[in-house]
């Protein structure tokens, strides 16, 4: 950062050692960016950050999706808010996952889920009032996580294992005496006669829904079963669920599909705003860096969204945004160092052409 500003590297280092209320800043930005009447969801996911050394805070073995195995490094947990209708997401809060240190005196085993729940509790008050659902991938389909989210007055949307233990509810006649019958057999996904068929949501992709009992989650859930028949010899299917049994199955499907926006946030932050480039080892400096990187991405996305053509679909390219800002900065340096007339140059019709030089999306 010091390469492109008048401040020294030492100044930036001192600022990184201080705290800043990034959640409040992101919350204010999200309030301005989101349309209150649109379908909004909260999304949570964790991402691996490669890091070497021995004295870095939080250094441990975390799952690296890129390598499909656990590796030594850092991990960050992020909660984002996604506008489902516009398919655009903004980071609200990011928190580093602490390392798990074995403690023989510890009476209860603490897992990563406890860290993610602590992150959610610290962020819950900052979520927009329109957000009712928290979406996570298959990792978060655990009893401890679901119970913790529901206790915070949010509903969970997630993905189940393909061999999840589900049971139908019994709605027939009961015996006059004794305990009433609750269940009517285990769910068999090869027989969908007891499921509600909702037709095709996409080409060759059919959707079915049912309200069943989850043995692992110990609660009644709404399940959406997606079947992809593009290749009849090899059917592909997925089980989505929500703790809100009254949720429209189509809305459940749309919400989980919009979850992928958080992956775009991680991708853009790693490639263009230096999410993985911090060389600090202190917990405070690392926290400042992770939050600053994702907040910078929020501001870039919001600025480009305001300048969009409302008659065309919004397309965001962080690569193009960064190239445009670099071109503008370079032109400003030319104007300043060569003592040129800034007004005449910026009013010239070719000025914007030079600012857009090398862009992927204009």
CATH code of the domain in which 210 resides: 3.90.350.10
Query: 118 with 257, same domain?
Result: yes
What local confidence, expressed as pLDDT, does residue 293 receive? 95
Residue 311 lies in a domain: no
Number of folded domains in the chain? 2
What local confidence, expressed as pLDDT, does residue 314 receive? 81
pLDDT tops 70 at residue 229: yes
pLDDT tops 50 at residue 104: no
Instruction: Write out the E strands in the chain.
Output: 40-50, 60-64, 69-83, 88-96, 133-135, 155-160, 166-169, 183-186, 196-202, 205-214, 219-228, 236-242
State the CB neighbour count (10 A cutoff) for residue 248. Answer: 15
Query: 180 with 246, same domain?
Result: yes
What local confidence, expressed as pLDDT, does residue 36 receive? 86
DSSP string of 171-226, one letter each residue: -S---SSSPPP-EEEE--TT--TTSEEEEEEETTEEEEEEEEEETTTTEEEEEEEE
Query: 216 with 339, same domain?
Result: no
Query: 108 with 236, same domain?
Result: yes
Distance CA 326, CA 153 (A): 44
Query: 283 with 347, same domain?
Result: no
Query: 141 with 191, same domain?
Result: yes
Q: Which domain holds residue 345?
A: 318-355
Cβ(45)–Cβ(274) under 8 Å?
Answer: no
pLDDT digits (tens, 9 = 90+) for 269-318: 999 999 999 888 899 999 999 999 999 999 999 998 888 888 888 888 89
Query: 334 with 281, same domain?
Result: no
Query: 265 with 127, same domain?
Result: yes
Query: 281 with 343, same domain?
Result: no
Dihedral pair phi/psi, residue 265, rounded to 5°: -65, -45
Cβ(56)–Cβ(74) under 8 Å?
Answer: yes
Q: At what angle do helices 283-306 and 261-272 cross, to 10 degrees?
A: 110
Mean pLDDT score of the chain: 90
pLDDT tops 80 at residue 205: yes
Q: What is the mean pLDDT of residues 183-210?
A: 89
Query: 323 with 232, same domain?
Result: no
Residue 201 lies in a domain: yes
The residue ranking higher by pLDDT, 189 or 139, is: 139
Q: What is the mean pLDDT of residues 145-159?
A: 96
């Amino acid at each position: 950062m010091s390469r492109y500003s008048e401040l020294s590297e030492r100044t930036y280092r001192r600022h990184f050692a201080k705290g800043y209320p990034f959640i409040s800043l992101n919350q204010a930005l999200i309030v301005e960016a989101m349309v209150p009447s649109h379908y909004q969801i909260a999304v949570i996911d964790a991402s691996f950050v490669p890091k070497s050394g021995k004295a870095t805070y939080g250094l441990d073995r975390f799952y690296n999706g890129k390598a499909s195995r656990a590796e030594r490094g850092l991990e960050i947990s992020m909660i984002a808010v996604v506008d489902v209708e516009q398919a655009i997401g903004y980071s609200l809060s990011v928190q580093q996952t602490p390392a798990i240190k074995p403690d023989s005196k510890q009476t209860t085993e603490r897992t990563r889920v406890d860290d993610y729940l602590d992150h959610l509790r610290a962020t819950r008050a900052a979520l927009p009032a329109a957000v009712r659902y928290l979406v996570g991938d298959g990792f978060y389909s655990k009893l401890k996580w679901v119970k913790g989210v529901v206790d915070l007055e949010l509903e969970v949307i997630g993905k189940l294992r393909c061999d999840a233990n589900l049971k139908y509810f019994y709605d027939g006649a009961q015996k006059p005496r004794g305990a009433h019958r609750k269940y009517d057999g285990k769910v068999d996904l090869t027989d969908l006669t007891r499921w509600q068929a909702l037709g095709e949501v996409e080409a060759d992709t059919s959707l079915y829904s049912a309200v069943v009992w989850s043995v692992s989650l110990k609660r009644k859930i709404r399940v959406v079963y997606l079947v992809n028949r593009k290749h009849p010899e090899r059917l592909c299917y997925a089980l989505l669920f929500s703790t809100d049994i009254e949720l429209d199955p189509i809305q459940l499907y749309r919400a989980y599909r919009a979850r992928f926006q958080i992956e775009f946030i991680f991708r853009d932050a790693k490639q263009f705003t230096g999410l993985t480039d911090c060389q600090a080892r202190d917990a405070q400096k690392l926290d400042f860096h992770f939050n600053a990187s994702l907040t910078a991405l929020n501001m870039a996305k919001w600025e480009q969204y305001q300048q969009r053509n409302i008659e065309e679909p919004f397309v965001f390219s962080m690569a193009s945004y960064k190239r445009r800002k670099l071109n503008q900065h370079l032109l400003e340096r030319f104007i300043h160092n060569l003592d040129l007339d800034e007004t005449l140059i910026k009013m010239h019709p070719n000025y914007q052409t030079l600012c857009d030089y090398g862009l992927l999306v204009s």
